[in-house]
Amino acid sequence: LDWASRSFRVSTSGVASQTQIHTHMCYAEVNDVIRTIAAMDADVISIEASRSDMEPLTSFTDFMYPNGSRPGCV
């Protein structure tokens, strides 16, 4: 998964410093990839949680995510 977070950082590296990068994850096993998500260094991530009773958001209580996060709905 290291290549995925590096690719994300490379693809977003050309934006202006005041640009806020948002990303969204759908139907992921967030606990399995939370460190990779953090390594992406997006300013804000939304996690699809409406169909899973908000369970994926528990990852953020066990891991100190360094940036913004919020539940997302699809």
- Kindly report, residue by residue over 4-55, the tens digit of the pLDDT: 999 999 999 999 999 999 988 887 777 788 888 889 989 988 877 766 666 6
At a CB cut-off of 8 Å and minimum separation 6, what does 53 contact? none
Q: Which of 66, 27, 21, 62 lies closest to 44 in space, CA to CA?
A: 21
According to the model, what pLDDT value does residue 30 have?
79
Q: How many CA atoms lie within 13 A of 13 on its CB side?
A: 8
Provide the token pair at 1: 């998964």
Overall domain count for the chain: 1
pLDDT for residue 2 is more than 80 = yes
CB 33 within 8 A of CB 56: no
Domain that holds residue 59: 2-13+21-72
